[in-house]
Amino acid sequence: MNFSVAVKDLAQALSRISSATPQRSPMPVLENVMLELEGSALSLTATDMDITVTTRVDVRGTANGAILVPARRLFDTVRALEIGELKFDVDPSTKRISLHTASGEYKLSGLDVSEFPQRAKFEPRVSLNLPLNKFSTMIDRTVFACSGDEFRPAMTGVLFQFRPDEIRAVATDGFRLVRVIDHEMTAELSEPVDIIVPPKALQLASKAFSATDITLEANQTHVRFADGTTTITARLIDENYPPYENVIPQANDKRMVVKREELLNTVKRVSLYSNTHTRQVRLKVAPNALRVQAEDMDTGGEAFEHIPCDYSDDELEIGFNSQFVRDALDRIDSDEIAMDFSTPLRPSLISPYGKANGQEVLMLLMPIRLNN
């Protein structure tokens, strides 16, 4: 196996697969990256058994072949070289690898590719093309709300619901919930398909691709994303997602409309004076006026600001985790947002005041009981 490649091109390819390579694994073979050369196409594959990433890079190949290379050493070496060209030679009998540069040579030992996990056959139940920018936006708007509780595995991922006329993405950690509905991305389906995708796979998919559109395929056990150069295959979370629609209130009849950026910046400033454990901010809503307040009884810190809003109902005071409010507002791209309330102890809803990027966005926040 012999080829030459631009260091910059190889570095970019390695960066696309690096997140799938465990630095330490009970299976040491997974700490390697598989290189497969056929003609002028070099394929690089990394896996941690839950996620497998394969990408291609154009090279000048002279002898086809395949080899397992220690991933961390290869990554670090290529990153350190920065520019120039790298000539890659493999002795098929000893598996010794030589990396030649214009000024030196690096040697390391590889392994036979037969030791690497075999890629399972993939037969999709659903297949569709997605605009990458819209799909990435859907990921950004949901993945932050996934739970980190390993005892509730379904809630550690994002639920995708594929329907003939829409795609839904849902995430919740029990304290907040996000539901995004896209009516423009559709799939040809014989029946509805629901899958729960781990956050790591979605974050990789939103960063690893450069094409305008990607392909999403899914079956009972795995999901696959591809853009023609890079393919990400991930194991799905095999659990039943909780009936999230049951917790979305239907009787929140008190609506406040406020400028998103003004509320976000106010919460950022005022929350500096909130209790470090509860992070509580109070929203006191009155006709056309909103007071945002925080206090820390332990340190004596206190702050408040007033901002204008559109509100015409009874006065209401409600408390929220300030970080949850910031997370929600950060992921809405409309100039104004609507907050729908019921009582200080029932969930509140945040949504763009109008559609954003063709997606219907709804964020639910559980309130915090106010400290009197």
Per-residue pLDDT of the chain (372 residues; tens, 9 = 90+): 999 999 999 999 999 999 898 888 889 999 999 999 999 999 999 999 999 999 999 999 999 999 999 999 999 999 999 789 999 999 999 999 999 999 899 999 999 999 999 887 888 888 889 999 999 999 999 999 999 999 999 999 999 999 888 899 999 999 999 999 998 877 777 788 999 999 999 999 988 898 899 999 999 999 999 999 999 999 999 999 999 999 999 999 999 999 999 999 999 999 999 999 999 999 999 999 999 999 998 888 999 999 999 999 999 999 999 999 999 999 998 999 999 999 999 999 999 986 555 789 999 999 999 876
Q: Which two tokens stand for residue 346?
A: 């029932």
Same-domain pairing of 260 and 278: yes
Q: Report yes or no on 309 lying in a domain.
A: yes
Say how far apart CA 233 and CA 119 lie, in whole Å. 10
> What is the Cα–Cα distance from 36 to 248, expressed in whole angstroms?
50
Could you tell me if residue 223 is inside a domain? Answer: yes
Q: Do residues 12 and 98 share a domain?
A: yes
pLDDT of residue 39: 95
The Cα–Cα gap between 336 and 53 comes to 39
Count CB-CB contacts under 10 A for residue 312.
10
- Residue 224 forms part of a structural domain: yes
253 and 359 within one domain: yes
pLDDT of amino acid 191:
83
Instruction: Please tell me the total count of domains within the chain.
Output: 3
First to last CA, the chain: 72
Pairwise CA distance, residues 3 & 65, whole Å = 10
229: domain range?
Answer: 126-160+183-240
Indicate whether 292 and 209 sit together in one domain. Answer: no
Contact of 67 with 61, CB cutoff 8 Å: no
On whether residue 120 sits in a domain, the answer given is no
Q: How far apart are CA 267 and CA 323, in angstroms?
A: 9
DSSP letter string, 319-342:
EEEHHHHHHHHHT--SSEEEEEES
Is 350 in the same domain as 334?
yes
In angstroms, the CA 167 to CA 186 distance is: 6
Give the sheet arrangement for strand 348-352, strand by strand.
Answer: 193-197, 158-163, 166-172, 176-182, 359-365, 348-352, 336-341, 254-259
Structural domain contains residue 75? yes
Q: Residue 120: what pLDDT?
A: 75
Residues 261 and 321 in one domain: yes
pLDDT for the residue numbered 25: 83
Residue 62 to residue 91: CA distance in whole angstroms: 13
pLDDT at 312: 95
Tell me the H-state helices in the chain: 7-17, 71-81, 132-140, 199-208, 260-270, 322-330
Residue at 170 is within a domain: no
Are 138 and 104 in the same domain? no
Under DSSP, is residue 91 helix (H, G, I), strand (E, B) or coil? coil
Nearest-angstrom CA–CA distance, 215 and 128:
6
Q: How far is CA 177 from CA 41, 333, 358, in A?
A: 44, 18, 20
Residues 97 and 134 grouped into a single domain: no
Spatial separation of the C-alpha atoms in residues 11 and 63, rounded to whole Å: 21
21, 95: one domain: yes
Count how many Cα atoms sit within 13 Å of the Cα of residue 47 in the half-sphere of its side chain. Answer: 21
Please name every residue paired with 197 in a beta bridge, in sequence order, or none if there are none: 158
* Domain CATH for 223: 3.10.150.10
Cα(88)–Cα(107) distance, rounded to whole angstroms? 10
Same domain as 47, residue 132: no
Residue 187's contacts (CB-CB under 8 Å, 6 or more residues apart) are 126, 127, 128, 162, 163, 164, 167, 193
Report if residue 174 sits inside a domain.
no
- List helix spans (H) across 215-321: 260-270
C-alpha distances (whole Å) from 201 to each of 74, 112, 123, 204, 205 are: 23, 27, 19, 5, 6
Give the end of a domain, one of 196, 224, 240.
Answer: 240
Domain termination site, one of 94, 115, 136: 115
Which has the closest alpha carbon to 123: 48, 230, 228, 222?
A: 222
* pLDDT score recorded for residue 372: 63
Count the residues in the chain: 372
- Of 90, 115, 140, which one is at a domain's C-terminal end? 115
Domain co-membership, 16 together with 79: yes
235 lies in the same domain as 342: no
Residue 371 lies in a domain: no
